[in-house]
Amino acid sequence: MNIAVVGATGLVGSLMLKVLAEQNIPYEKLYLIASQRSAGKKISFNNNIYSIITLDEALDKNIDFALFSAGKTVSLEYAPLFVKNGATVIDNSSAWRMDPTVPLVVPEINPEDIKDNRLIANPNCSTIAMIMALFNLHRRYTARRLVISTYQSVTGSGMKGINQLFDERAGKPVSNPAYPHKIDLNILPHGGAFLDYGYTEEEIKLVNETRKILHAPDIQITATVVRVPVTGGHSISLNVEFEDEFDLQDVYSILQKTEGVVIADNPKENLYPTPQMAEGKDEVFVGRIRRDFSRAHCLNLWATADNLRKGAATNAVQILKTII
Ligand code: A2P
C-alpha cells in the first residue's frame, strides 16, 4: 500500500505523518507532496529521508491512498485526478464536503457513509469537536436546535496565523497577515470570508456539515465563529435544545461512554476543558455540562479539541484506518 500526503510541509500535513506513525498505519512507499516552492526539500520521517515532490510529479506515481491538506484550490483540481489514477483521497479541505456524492465522515459517527467511495471529505475542525460531544446525546434525545459559539485557535489558519500572533507579540512587523486586524490581545468575530447575508463561511460550515454528518437536515443551527489569540485547540460553547426531556446524570453517562470524548467537569476543583488541556491529544474534552434553565429540554456544554489533531489529521487518519 502506497500513501501520499499532500501538503506535507504544512501544519496539518506534517501532523498527518506523525499520526500515521502513531497509529502504525502500514505502507510500502510514502510520497510527500507540497508546492513547487518546497520541491526537493528533504524531510526526515520514521528514520527515512524523503524528498518533497510536486502534485504533477505525484500523478506519475502509483498511489493507493492520498491524504490532502493543501487548501481548497489544490483539492478541487487534484483530488479528482488522483482518484482517476486509482487513489482513494481523504480530503481535509472544504472543497468537497457538501458535494452530495462525497461522504463527510467522522469515524465514530458515520463510518458506514464511506461505502465504496474513493473521495472522502474530512469535516471542519470545529464541526468535529462539537459533533463528537453532541452525536450520542442527539441519538438519545434528538437535538432540535443548536446555538454554537466557537473560540478558535490561530493554528486553524496554518503557519500564517501562528506567525501573525507571535510576530505581533514580539513587536515585529507582520509580512503576510492571516487576519485583517491585530490578533494578539484581541479577539475577532470573523472566521473565513463574509457571505452576503452577514454570516461567515466558517459559520455556515458548522450548520451544513453538522446536518450532513448526522443525516438530520432539519436541525435548526446558528453559529458564531470567533478567532482568539491562543494555540493548542478550538473551544466551543454549545447550547442544545432536545425534542425530549433529558436526565443530566444520563447525559454524563452517555458522554462517559462516548469513544473519543473525555469529560473534564468538576467546578469545585476549577476543572473544565481548555485549549492547553487538549493540545497534542486526540480526544475531545467536554465540561461545563449544565441545564439551561431558561428553556425546556435545553443543555449547555463546553468542548475543546486540538483542531490540528481530532479536528484534522487524526480524523483523516482514522478514516484511512476505517477503510483499510
Ligand atoms: P509549501 O510548504 O510548499 O507552501 P499550512 O496551511 O500549514 O500553511 O500548509 C499548507 C500546505 O499546503 C503546505 O504543505 C504547502 O506547501 C501546501 N501547498 C500550498 N499550496 C500548494 C500548491 N499549490 N501545491 C501543492 N501544495 C501546496
Determine the distance separating the centroid of ligand 1 and the alpha carbon of 59, expressed in angstroms: 17
Residue limits of CATH 3.40.50.720 in the chain: 2-122+312-323
* Residues of each domain in the chain carrying CATH 3.30.360.10: 127-307
CATH of 2-122+312-323, one of 3.10.580.10, 3.40.50.80, 3.40.50.720, 3.30.420.40: 3.40.50.720
Active site residue 298: no
- Cell 499520526 locates to 19
Distance CA 274, CA 280 (A): 12
Cα–ligand 1 centroid distance for 313 (angstroms): 15
Give the mean pLDDT per block of 10 residues along the chain (324 residues): 97 97 97 98 95 98 98 98 98 98 98 98 98 98 98 96 98 97 98 97 98 98 98 98 97 98 98 98 98 98 98 98 97
C-beta of residue 11 within 8 angstroms of C-beta of residue 18: no
When computed from its CA atoms, the radius of gyration of the chain, rounded to whole angstroms, is: 20
127-307 CATH pick, 3.40.50.1970, 3.20.20.70, 1.10.287.130, 3.30.360.10:
3.30.360.10
Residue nearest to atom 4 of ligand 1 (CA): 35
The one catalytic residue among 181, 190, 215, 234: 234
pTM of the full structure: 0.97
User: What integer pLDDT is reported at residue 233 of this predicted model?
Assistant: 98
Ligand 1 mean position, distance from CA 301 (Å): 35
Ramachandran category for residue 192: left, alpha or beta (phi over 0 → left; psi -120 to 50 → alpha): left
Nearest-5° Cα angle at 188, 219 to 94: 50
pLDDT for residue 320: 98
CA distance 75 to 211: 23
Q: Which atom of ligand 1 is nearest to the CA of 6?
A: 26
Our CA dihedral for 140, 94, 23, 308, rounded to 10 degrees, sits at: -90
Query: How far away, in angstroms, is 66 Cα from ligand 1 center?
Result: 15
- How many Å apart are CA 141 and CA 321, to the nearest integer? 30
**Of ligand 1's atoms, which has the minimum distance to the CA of residue 52?**
3
- Atom 27 of ligand 1, residue of closest alpha carbon: 35
Cell of 265: 467537569
Catalytic residue flag (residue 234): yes
What pLDDT, on a 0 to 100 scale, did the predictor assign at position 169?
98
